[in-house]
Structure 1
Amino acid sequence: EGSGISEQFLCSICLEVFSEPVSTPCGHNFCKRCISQTWDTNESCFCPLCKEVFSIRPQLKTNTLLSEMVSHAPRLKRHQLMEPVDDLEDRMCPTHDQPLMIYCSTDQKAICVVCSALEHKNHTLVSLKEAFEQEKVSLQQTVAENQRLVEQRRLKVQEITLETSLSQKFNKVFTQLPPKDQLRRVQQFAVDVTLDPDSANPELVLSKDLKQVHHTDVEKKLRNSPQRFANYAIVLGKQSFSSGRFYFEVQVKGKTMWDLGVARESVNRKGEISASPKNGFWTIVLRNRDQYIACDDPRVPLSPLRPPQKVGVFVDYGAGLVSFYDVDSPHLLYCCFALNLFPVLSTFAF
């Protein structure tokens, strides 16, 4: 029938016939190598077609049906989506002995005028030349979009390589400084952090300037949006940081319980939450007035020289480090590894 292979047999990343086709949770198919490389060079896992983001990297499952279908035509390439119009027009309908001049989009095949009137009258029909031009434009657009994505990924990889190199140089000098000079150095990267009311648990009260938060026993009636923490007194900062270095300070004087640090945007905001790196939280906490703990895996008890009154949080994204400082000492309280973060606060006392 001369219709070539359908676009369903092509990977939308490499534009070639599928090689080891796998399916994502959203139902789209890609070459296993293509989608794995795409996710390896991005900060998050997402579907290149529908852009759905997966907070946890999915287990890719082989599409056995598609693999079987592709295996019967291993030599077909992307330019064979449709045979040239001239070749099809020279062919005759085996039933009506009429030239193939019409394309049935419903059945995806070339037909003659008689076929269109008898067997395909309720189908979507276009002229063969129009169908060919449409497919050519669609393919060109797909190629251009994939080239754009490839270039985007290449630039992102270069940016990360450069940032990592700069961070290594920064840290080589930084670690040789005395504690007071270290703190002074990281304070140069201070950012203006405001709290995000859409994420705040209903028991938290934010100041008008969104710079302060305190806890109450009264739960406000607020819209239960997907961004809002439902069961824990947590609020995120409005600002998201995914590159460079940033530093902010939190006044904790007078508090008997608190959590502070940074978190991924994708953290669970409903149900049970365990603050740990594997769950997207990099925090230190105060419990029972004098128990300071770094919520790492496993948790690490901290022994500050005196109760911190103000805690500084410094993130070096290129190096993947999060550091906590007692601003008034100044001493390094703890250091851990993390990427792609929001400031996060939790408070239980006022």
Structure 2
Amino acid sequence: MSATSCVLSEEQFLCCICLDVFTDPVTIPCGHNFCKNCITQHWNVNSARCQCPMCKKQFTTRPELPVNTFISEMAAEFKQSVKQKGSDVSEMQVAKPGEIPCDVCTGTKLRAVKSCLTCFASYCVIHLDPHQTSDRLRTHLLTNPVENMEGRVCTKHKKPLELFCKTDQTCVCSQCTVTEHVSHNIASLKDEYEEKKAELEQAEANIQQMIQHRQLRCQRIKLLKIHSKKDAETEIANGVRIFTILMQTAERDLNELIEMIEERQKRTEDEADRYITELEQEISVLIKRSAEVQQLSCTEDHLHLLQNFTSTSTALHTKNWTTVSVCPPLYEGTVVEAVAKLEETLGREKEQLLRVARLRRVQHYAVDLILEPNTANPWLILSDDGKQVRCGEVRRDLPDNEERFSLYNNVLAQQSFSSGRFYYEVQVTGKTDWTLGVAKESVNRKGIIPLSPVNGYWAVGLRNGSEYLALSSPVVSLSLNLRPQRVGVFVSYEEGLVSFYDVDEAVHLSSFTDCCFTEKLFPFFSPGLNHGGANSDPLIILPVNHTD
């Protein structure tokens, strides 16, 4: 059977009960056809009467249902034809709500599989056949099913909208170009489509870039939120520790003040008690002499008075109490002096405690670093554990690979960081020349360029044994009271911060702020030139020791 006959006979192949191609088709007396199983079940359910589901004609007795071999053969050939065209039975499903129906189907609408932009119609798998077999129809432009095909026709001229007016930014037909849009800038739909598609692709690329930028910003803000919480917890712990120490110091000084006052009071009491004891002893002697004098003065015996007069009139050996006094200690100013001393002590302790607290805060982000030999300048000698680097006296014969520093005595760590915070410490004891800091991944490792943030370096260093420098643009001299023996380096990627510390003195040396990091950062180390052995001591990466 030809494809044309299939199209013309389409409805005869569909059972109106199951809406599928006939299976064992039967013809009832009114002439309508159904699947044998479908009409049997229909009559079984409606056993009170036998009625045609289509024309509603009733039969007094249930008709016999022999299979219509002609229709059965036609249905079988139809199924075979659909199968040969590679169409699944599932593609012949009835159009559901929201799906685009075939414009040719009469009665039950099958789901459209293609739309023709030339015919302005949509076709199911059956009615699409002519567009795939006819030479004339095969030139039509097919696309996936689209809605509103009438919107693709010019409402005024009833011709397809196949052109685009750039002047009015609207789709037009060929007739429009010689009437309303004459002398306008006209382009084909395809050319305008390609142009607009390119603009959309560029817009999509811009949107994706904006999304990535905002995702990165969101990620950084989330990290800063985490850092903020951790900083708050650390600050509370530091505050408790510092205030506890300061209160202990104040309590100690108060106890010392109380002890000093009580000691002065005790000395005064002891002196007063000693004077009182002496006075009481003299009073007792004087009372006894007074009794003797009174007794002698009352006698009438001349001889007795004269014989005892000498013993009672003899002067007593007593102290001259007119110059003796007890002076209570003067406490005026004692408390004021103690408070002033306490303020001075607390000031010194507070400054030291705050410095230590700031250092401990960054030490919580300590990382374990190992030097990367493939980046080391040929003059440098690394220890086996990758923790030490010094400048040798002989240039080693090493491959000049891409990541190796050729001119500067630099070496990078193996570890890199593109987010978060990190901290490490380096021993610089005995050095007369050194440089420490971080460098971005893309720094020039072959040429001679200043070590500065502009060129991807954030570092401090020592020159000529006494000149401490922050390698910014321009270079800034650092005035240090003491020579650092252990230098700490702290980096906060999201905050754009690089800070340096004298670990032993807990002193902040210098900071780079408002940095804009956009790529990986590597800790970098330069032990400086050997200088004939004067600067031969190594830089040593040390484990970070801190008390939580």
Shorter-chain TM-score range: 0.5 to 0.7
Q: What is the DSSP-based 3-state SS (H/G/I as helix, E as strand, rest coil) of the residue aligned with 2:357?
A: helix
Instruction: Please say if residues 167 and 316 of structure 1, whose CA atoms lie closer than 8 Å, have aligned partners that are also in contact.
Output: no
1:311 and 1:254 map into 2 onto residues whose CA distance is 13
Deviations along 1:226-252, one digit per CA (max 9) or x if unpaired, are: 111111100111111121111100111
Out of 317, 335, 345, which is 2:525 matched to?
345
Asked if residue 157 in structure 1 is aligned to residue 337 in structure 2, the reply is no
CA positional deviation for 1:161? 2.2
Larger relative contact order (CA 8 Å, sep ≥ 6): 1
2:391 and 2:403 map into 1 onto residues whose CA distance is 19
Question: Structure 1 length normalisation: TM-score?
Answer: 0.56
CA positional deviation for 1:162? 2.7
Out of 234, 240, 263, which is 2:439 matched to?
263
1:212 and 1:160 map into 2 onto residues whose CA distance is 33
1:154 and 1:283 map into 2 onto residues whose CA distance is 30
* One-letter code aligned to 2:219: E
Which is higher, the Rg of structure 1 or of structure 2?
2
* One-letter code aligned to 2:222: L
CA positional deviation for 1:160? 1.5
Q: Give the aligned length.
A: 226
**Aligned pair in 2 of structure 1 residues 85, 216: CA closer, same or farther (>3 Å)?**
farther
Give the match for residue 220 of structure 1.
396
Give the match for residue 288 of structure 1.
464
CA positional deviation for 1:151? 5.5
**Aligned pair in 2 of structure 1 residues 98, 166: CA closer, same or farther (>3 Å)?**
closer
- Report 1:179-218 matches (<5 A): 179-218=355-394
Which one has a larger percent helix, Structure 1 or Structure 2? Answer: 2
1:271 and 1:178 map into 2 onto residues whose CA distance is 43
Instruction: Please say if residues 89 and 99 of structure 1, whose CA atoms lie closer than 8 Å, have aligned partners that are also in contact.
Output: no
2:140 and 2:392 map into 1 onto residues whose CA distance is 75
**Aligned pair in 2 of structure 1 residues 88, 195: CA closer, same or farther (>3 Å)?**
farther
Instruction: Please say if residues 116 and 140 of structure 2, whose CA atoms lie closer than 8 Å, have aligned partners that are also in contact.
Output: no
Asked if residue 299 in structure 1 is aligned to residue 475 in structure 2, the reply is yes
CA positional deviation for 1:100? 3.7
- Report 1:106-255 matches (<5 A): 152-165=212-225, 178-255=354-431
Identity of aligned residues (%): 43
Unaligned runs of at least 5 residues, structure 1: 1-83, 103-138
* One-letter code aligned to 2:406: A
Q: What is the DSSP-based 3-state SS (H/G/I as helix, E as strand, rest coil) of the residue aligned with 2:450?
A: coil
CA positional deviation for 1:88? 7.2
Give the match for residue 491 of structure 2.
315
CA positional deviation for 1:148? 7.7
Deviations along 1:296-318, one digit per CA (max 9) or x if unpaired, are: 12211112221111100011222
* One-letter code aligned to 1:342: F
Which one has a larger percent strand, Structure 1 or Structure 2? Answer: 1
Q: What is the DSSP-based 3-state SS (H/G/I as helix, E as strand, rest coil) of the residue aligned with 1:178?
A: helix
CA positional deviation for 1:271? 1.2
Instruction: Please say if residues 435 and 462 of structure 2, whose CA atoms lie closer than 8 Å, have aligned partners that are also in contact.
Output: yes
* One-letter code aligned to 1:160: R
* One-letter code aligned to 2:217: V
Q: What is the DSSP-based 3-state SS (H/G/I as helix, E as strand, rest coil) of the residue aligned with 1:333?
A: strand
Q: What is the DSSP-based 3-state SS (H/G/I as helix, E as strand, rest coil) of the residue aligned with 2:509?
A: strand
Give the match for residue 79 of structure 1.
none
Instruction: Please say if residues 183 and 330 of structure 1, whose CA atoms lie closer than 8 Å, have aligned partners that are also in contact.
Output: yes
CA positional deviation for 1:86? 3.8
* One-letter code aligned to 1:346: S
1:258 and 1:311 map into 2 onto residues whose CA distance is 11
